[in-house]
Structure 1
Amino acid sequence: MSPTPENASPTPKRTPTVSAVIAAYNRAPELRTAINRLLTQTLAPMEILVVDDGSTDGTDQMMRTEFGPDRFPQIRYIRQPHNAGLILARNLGFVNTTGDYIVSVDDDSWFEGDDGLARCVEFLEANPDVAIATCNIETPDGMIYYPRNKEPFEVPWYAGGGHVLRRSAVDRIGLYIPEFYRQGEEKDRCLRLMGAGMRIIALPHIMIYHDKCMKGRKPGLERFYNHRNDLIRELARCPAGMMPRRLLRVWAGNSWKNLRQGPRTTDLKILMALPEIIRLGRKYRKPLPPEIYRRWLDLVASAAPATKPPPRTASTPVTAAGPTAVRQD
């Protein structure tokens, strides 16, 4: 092999590519904001894929007239004929994009800063063992997930509506379990990623504003799927020796939440769904090594529980998004 000439130009560093996926359902005004905020990022996605989960509020018309390919060739729009669930929409978005990284935002969430996406990708490029960078989330009531000045740290799950993932990591461990339909998919993916030797890191200094639009939200349905999918996850991933204790703890914890928040029929629905829960747990059964599962549980135990922001007072600072409150770790 001939030596490289001293004056030869160095090989230029490859610029990573980024795709964006937005699962949408009946939130046309909020979706418009989410798309526009992605378009103004300093590292703009090379493609933005909107997966419409059967909207009936004019989302289809808005996408075709305001964001059509003649004006925005980087934006693609897929319309499902009916509501097939958030998780299926996100899986569909993943397999129909090609970027090295995929940024996922909800149809009612967006980066607060124009350089948020660029900073996420920069962090992932510098840390190849990190599969997902999850952002800090601010909600209209002033709640903020993490103190803004906290250093990046490992977490047991990520924000489905505000994260950037490494495509090669998902190629390695697989898509979301489609039968989850909604809720709890992030925890199962994190367990599988940890089992493959990768980490999930929170970046508290990168903010996502989550408008938490109530259109399409059904608290009772969310609690049912949280409970159901937690049980499926334990059956699929928990080591056999830890299974009885974990199932009991998950059932008791979710039942207590249902008792406090209602509706009271959620546990009855879970009992009726037990045959399906057991079937899906067996279908996807691939337990993790006990040491990996215990490390995930340690991260869960150290995660700060969700808290409501304090009541607003005259001294509470107010931002454009509402009063500022920080959840304490």
Structure 2
Amino acid sequence: MPSVSAVIATFNRAPELRTALSRLLAQTHPVAEILVVDDGSTDGTDAMVRAEFPTVRYVRLPHNAGLIYARNFGFVNTAGDYVLSVDDDSWFAEPDGLARTVTYMETHADVAAAACNIETRDGLVYFPPQADPFDAPWYVGCGHLLRRSAVAAVGLYMPELYRQGEEKDRCLRLIGAGHRVVALPGIMVYHDKSEKGRKPGLERFYNHRNDLIREVARCPAGLLPWRFARSWIGNSWKNLRHGPRLTDLKVLLALPEILRIGLKHRAPVSEDAYRRWLHLSRTAAPGLPQPDPTPSHNPLPRSAGEG
């Protein structure tokens, strides 16, 4: 039986984490190890986990380093054949959800990441549950399963992203390396979408900033000027629709940092792979309107304490 490691990053959500851990431990496919990475909680999360879940590994980071750092930490400090990522406020809706996801991955060796369907407490369901599996441009952080060997080959998340957009960058790299990312509409993960720590203005800034970093890091040279400009314009328009904001000014001031980080990690994928990723971004999901891939649209962006 393939082994599964589960990584949950958390920040000041002890009650929500209690539910997430209880639901995960009730899955029919046994989880070889569960690692909770606490990104500096001050609400008694540590005492709750140690008292109520003695089999769960708990690591408290010395300071708030962000969701992406916490997920990288979890990946390198676990050993399962597959790595499950759920948020501290998300869980499989059915007890065999993990088992069915693992079975799909085991029978499709070219799939590096499985994106589960997501249902939020406000009634949003990402994909029609009856739809067949389909190739997707990215997974959502609060419910996905990764093949360790494939992810290890393409590398960890860019830690400088801090929060949001890391899924799109990794999936672009996986597709560039010849792997598939597949959405499984029939496997539902419920996202309770806790309000604790949510900061919409910060989300907009990091969505915009991190899309630009990704373009610098991954876009083929011949497409980069067009894609960078389109990403900037698309995100600016998206921000404008939310009313007057300072987001664009903050992104403009961050431009030197954006270029520095993007160039530091620059490893563009092939033009064919990039165009395929763009096509999937526009057309992949059945029955749902798809965003332009240029504006950042990560359905559930979060950092530690936000997803």
Aligned pairs for 1:49-198 within 5 A: 49-68=35-54, 72=55, 75-198=56-179
In 1, the alpha carbon distance for the partners of 2:254 and 2:101 equals 39
When the two structures are superposed, what TM-score results if normalisation uses the length of structure 1?
Answer: 0.86
In 1, the alpha carbon distance for the partners of 2:60 and 2:192 equals 23
1:65 to partner: Cα distance: 1.4
Residues 3-59 of structure 1, C-alpha deviation per residue, up to 9 Å, x if partnerless? xxxxxxxxxxxx100000000011111100100111000002010000000011111
Say whether the 8 Å CA contact 1:220–1:263 is kept in structure 2. no
In 2, the alpha carbon distance for the partners of 1:56 and 1:261 equals 32
- Please say which of residues 236-245 and 200-209 is displaced more in the overlay: 236-245
Residue in 2 aligned with 1:21? 7
In 1, the alpha carbon distance for the partners of 2:35 and 2:191 equals 19
- Please say which of residues 248-257 and 130-139 is displaced more in the overlay: 248-257
Structure 2 residue 31 is the aligned partner of structure 1 residue 39: no
Say whether the 8 Å CA contact 2:218–2:266 is kept in structure 1. yes
| Partner AA of 2:10 in structure 1 | A
SS in 1 for 2:222: helix
1:263 to partner: Cα distance: 5.8
1:305 to partner: Cα distance: 3.9
Structure 2 residue 216 is the aligned partner of structure 1 residue 235: yes
In 1, the alpha carbon distance for the partners of 2:61 and 2:2 equals 30
The unaligned stretches of length 5 or more in structure 2 are 292-307
Residues 175-201 of structure 1, C-alpha deviation per residue, up to 9 Å, x if partnerless? 000000000000100111011100000
RMSD of the TM alignment (CA)?
1.1
The unaligned stretches of length 5 or more in structure 1 are 1-14, 308-329
Say whether the 8 Å CA contact 2:137–2:280 is kept in structure 1. yes
Picking from 235, 250, 263, the partner of 1:254 is 235
Say whether the 8 Å CA contact 1:130–1:200 is kept in structure 2. yes
Say whether the 8 Å CA contact 1:38–1:44 is kept in structure 2. no
How many aligned residue pairs are there?
Answer: 288
In 2, the alpha carbon distance for the partners of 1:262 and 1:40 equals 44
When the two structures are superposed, what TM-score results if normalisation uses the length of structure 2?
Answer: 0.92
Rg (Cα) greater in structure: 1
In 1, the alpha carbon distance for the partners of 2:144 and 2:282 equals 22
1:288 to partner: Cα distance: 1.1
Picking from 148, 163, 185, the partner of 1:204 is 185
Residue in 2 aligned with 1:221? 202
Residues 79-123 of structure 1, C-alpha deviation per residue, up to 9 Å, x if partnerless? 012211000000000001000001100000000000000000000
Aligned in 2, Cα 1:250/1:149: closer, same or farther, shift over 3 Å?
Answer: same
In 1, the alpha carbon distance for the partners of 2:290 and 2:120 equals 12
In 2, the alpha carbon distance for the partners of 1:22 and 1:140 equals 20
In 2, the alpha carbon distance for the partners of 1:44 and 1:53 equals 26
1:306 to partner: Cα distance: 6.7
Aligned in 2, Cα 1:194/1:174: closer, same or farther, shift over 3 Å?
Answer: same
Residues 97-150 of structure 1, C-alpha deviation per residue, up to 9 Å, x if partnerless? 000001100000000000000000000000000000110000111110000000
SS in 1 for 2:36: strand
Say whether the 8 Å CA contact 1:220–1:262 is kept in structure 2. no
- Post-superposition, which runs of at least 4 consecutive aligned residues in structure 1 deviate over 2 A? 303-307
